[in-house]
């Protein structure tokens, strides 16, 4: 069923690859596993291995209220109260965050010259093995999941799992009925970057006017520049692109561009469910 087309005269007020991510599981522990104190503190991003050894030897680390001064001491980090220089820390086996990616930042683990999404998170997340699960273009904004859980990342990226990604695109021109049907039936993308058959997409024109349209669409996979290339096949240029949901997990509207937060326990299942709209 098609959604309502709203024609307005308004100018939209909404405004919104290098360094490939590979899951580095070295140093990441299994749940409940005992790890060395120095490794635990380094993975919390408190400092390098040699820096945290000094902190430990200075007697600045309390575990469950007791000062530990041996860096080799092992502990069940997830179930311990960790305090360094009076500041409490929580060690979690897994970290998954949602980031409101701003424009102008690369989705990559690292880059020699440009700022990446990892630069927007505290060092602890890199130390814990967090990586972007999927990729948004440099100029694309919105919901990006970064996780230390490789299996979760693969599920979100795997085109066979068909986890829906919902975007809001401001495009030039108006979407015709033919364009909408093409999106719904599955567009064959054929351009300088290659050829692929896009799976049927859900599409809804939310506003049109002044030679622009705001279109909400959900795609089932995430090929290179997929949304821009699908619109290009219909003769439209994407002016701005924002991802607003993955599965049924919506971008938290309280997150300013560049801000992040960890997922709550209730939010994990939403990533696997279909966005209903």
Active site residues: 137
Q: Euclidean distance between the first and final Cα of the chain, in Å?
A: 10
Q: What is the DSSP letter of 81?
A: -
96 vs 166, beta carbon nearer ligand URA = 166
Cβ proximity to ligand URA: between 84 and 136 the closer is: 136
Element (H, E) at 166: strand 165-172
Closest separation in Å from C-beta 227 to ligand URA: 3
Residue closer to ligand URA by CB (options 96, 140) is 140
CB of 274 to ligand URA, least distance (A): 18
- Shortest separation between residue 39's beta carbon and ligand URA, angstroms: 36
CA dist., res. 234 & res. 96, Å (int): 36
Min separation Cβ 199 and ligand URA, Å: 14
Nearer to ligand URA, 208 or 226 (CB): 226
Count of residues for the chain?
277
- Note the maximum CA span of the chain: 71
Q: Which residues in this chain contact ligand URA in the complex, by CB under 6 A?
A: 136-137, 140, 225-228, 241
User: Cβ(56)–Cβ(41) under 8 Å?
Assistant: yes
Q: What is the DSSP string of 25-46?
A: -TTPPPTT-EEEHHHHHHHTTS
Q: How many CB atoms lie within 10 A of CB 276?
A: 7
């Amino acid at each position: 069923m098609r959604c309502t087309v709203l024609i307005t005269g308004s100018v939209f007020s909404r405004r919104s690859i290098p360094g490939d991510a590979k899951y580095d599981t070295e140093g990441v522990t299994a749940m409940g596993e005992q790890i060395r104190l120095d490794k635990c503190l380094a993975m919390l991003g408190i400092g390098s291995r040699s820096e945290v050894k000094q902190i430990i030897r200075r007697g600045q680390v309390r575990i469950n209220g007791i000062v530990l001064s041996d860096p080799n001491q092992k502990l069940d980090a997830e179930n311990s109260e960790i305090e360094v220089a009076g500041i409490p820390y929580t060690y979690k086996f897994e970290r998954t965050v949602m980031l409101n990616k701003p424009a102008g930042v690369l989705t990559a683990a690292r880059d020699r010259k440009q700022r990446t999404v990892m630069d927007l998170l505290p060092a602890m997340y890199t130390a814990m093995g967090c990586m972007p699960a999927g990729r948004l273009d440099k100029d694309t904004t919105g919901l990006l999941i970064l996780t230390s859980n490789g299996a979760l990342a693969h599920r979100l990226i795997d085109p066979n799992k068909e986890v829906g990604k919902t975007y809001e695109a401001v495009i030039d021109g108006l979407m015709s009925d033919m364009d909408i049907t093409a999106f719904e039936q599955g567009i064959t993308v054929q351009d300088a970057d290659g050829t692929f058959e896009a799976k049927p997409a859900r599409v809804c024109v939310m506003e049109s006017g002044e030679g622009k349209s705001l279109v909400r669409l959900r795609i089932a996979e995430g090929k290179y520049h997929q949304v821009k290339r699908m619109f290009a096949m219909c003769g439209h240029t994407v002016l701005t692109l924002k991802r607003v949901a993955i599965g049924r997990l919506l971008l938290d509207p309280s997150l300013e561009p560049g801000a992040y937060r960890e997922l709550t326990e209730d939010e994990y299942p939403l990533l696997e469910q279909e966005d209903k709209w």
